[in-house]
Structures are given as structure tokens and as C-alpha cells.
Amino acid sequence: MKHKMNFLCGVIFIFTILMPVANLSSLFFTSEGELKLSQMDIYPTHISNDNSFRLKDAKTNKEVKAWAKSVMVEEDLNVKKDKSVWFYVALLPVPIIGLVTWFLFFFYFIKFVIAINKGEVFSWKTISLLRKAGWASLISEMVGLILLLFANGNRVFVGYANDYSRLLEEIPGLLWGLLLLLMAQTFSIGLKQKEELEQVI
């Protein structure tokens, strides 16, 4: 049983590591010269010639019309920010909180797995570790959603609107933390009933 549990925990670890890495992989790219690029999620407000561009087919060498969905754009340092400096100062700790809680999730979850392997299956210690891991995972995912919300900044392009559909796609990531909290609550109810039964006996 312990081998199966360790295998499942290993799968959880792999997915927990790969998902953020996959999201950040778009940040690692090469650009010519000293271009500073950023990724933006947008969608066309209408389909016409005024917001289209052309792509060349590699096989036929023919050009076809295209409309952007997710693009890399050059950052314009001269664009005036529509939010005050204090807003960005207040937002600065958010990614730090996300990174810290991400590592805390691993720390508490590893301690939980070690405690289970030592035979401490139903104890207040393991329940506390599981609850802490759940909150850490939940907060980390919520920070990721907040960062996605402000990812496009204040830039808007003619014929296009900012696309927040990726924000909705990331919401299921909250289920990891919620599931751990549900497990912790279920174990705590079972352990409390066990202690009450032992007192009666």
C-alpha cells in the first residue's frame, strides 16, 4: 500500500513541477538585437483586413491571412502607465508570495509523505501537514491567477481586445489545494470520532 501511495505522491510532484514550468516556458526565447518582448493574450474584435496580417506557408510558399490570438510584442517603454507607482509597488510582493507558498507546498507535502511512511496515518500531525500543504497550494495558484489578470498591462491594440480565457483555464488548478483541504477535514472528522469512541469504551 505504501508503494502505491508513494507512486501517487510522485505523480503529484511531477505534475506540480511541470505545470508552472510549462506556463513559464514561453518566457525563454531568443530575440534579435536588444528587443525586449512580452507575451500578450488577445483576440480579434472582428475579422477583416484592417486587423489581419499575412503568414507564408512553408510548403506552398503562398501567403495567407491570419489573425492573432497569443502574440509576442515589443515592449514600448514610452507607454504611459495608467496606474500609479504605488499600485505596482503593492503588487511587487505578490510573485514572491506565490514562489514561497509553492515551495512551502513541497515542504509540507514531503513531511506528510514521510509521516505516512513512518506509520502515522491518522494523527493530528499528519492532518495539520495536509491542511498546510492545501493552503500553500491554494494560495500559490491564486497568486498565479492574479498575475495572469495583470499580464497584459494597459496595452490595447486596434482591432483586438485583451483575452482572459487563459485565466479561466487555470482556475481548475485550485482543485489541488481544495482537494487536500477536503482530505484534511475528512481525516480530522474521522480521527475525532475515533477519539470519542475510545473515550466511551
Alpha-carbon span 9 to 177, nearest angstrom:
14
Among 36-40, 47-51, 67-71, 97-101, the least confident range: 36-40
> What value does the mean pLDDT take over residues 47-61?
87
Angle at 146 between CA 144 and CA 148, to 5 degrees: 70
What is the longest distance spanned by two Cα atoms in the chain?
83
Tens of pLDDT, residues 106-139: 899 888 888 888 877 778 888 899 899 999 989 9
Q: For the chain, give me the number of helices (H) and strands (E)?
A: 6, 5
The torsion angles phi and psi of 55, rounded to 5 degrees, stand at -120, 145
Q: Which three cell numbers stand for residue 110?
A: 514531503
| CB distance 39 to 11 below 8 Å | no
- What whole-number percentage of the chain has pLDDT above 90? 6
Strand order of the β-sheet with 70-74 is 70-74, 37-44, 160-162
Q: Which three cell numbers stand for residue 75?
A: 515592449
> What value does the mean pLDDT take over residues 11-30?
59
> What value does the mean pLDDT take over residues 184-201?
83
Non-local CB neighbours of 192 within 8 Å, separated by 6+ positions? none
Residue 131: per-residue pLDDT:
92
Q: Which three cell numbers stand for residue 109?
A: 507535502
Q: Which three cell numbers stand for residue 52?
A: 489581419
What mean pLDDT is reported for the chain? 78
Length of the chain equals: 201
Angle at 136 between CA 16 and CA 39, to 5 degrees: 55
Residue 23: per-residue pLDDT:
54
Q: Is the pTM of this model over 0.85?
A: no
Residue 19: per-residue pLDDT:
62
The structural domains of the chain, with segments of one domain joined by +, span 2-200
The residue ranking higher by pLDDT, 90 or 22, is: 90
Alpha-carbon span 144 to 169, nearest angstrom:
12
- Find where cell 514562489 sits: 99
Residue 3: per-residue pLDDT:
67
Among 27-31, 110-114, 120-124, 178-182, the least confident range: 27-31
Q: Which helix (H) or strand (E) holds 105?
A: helix 93-117
> What value does the mean pLDDT take over residues 156-163?
84
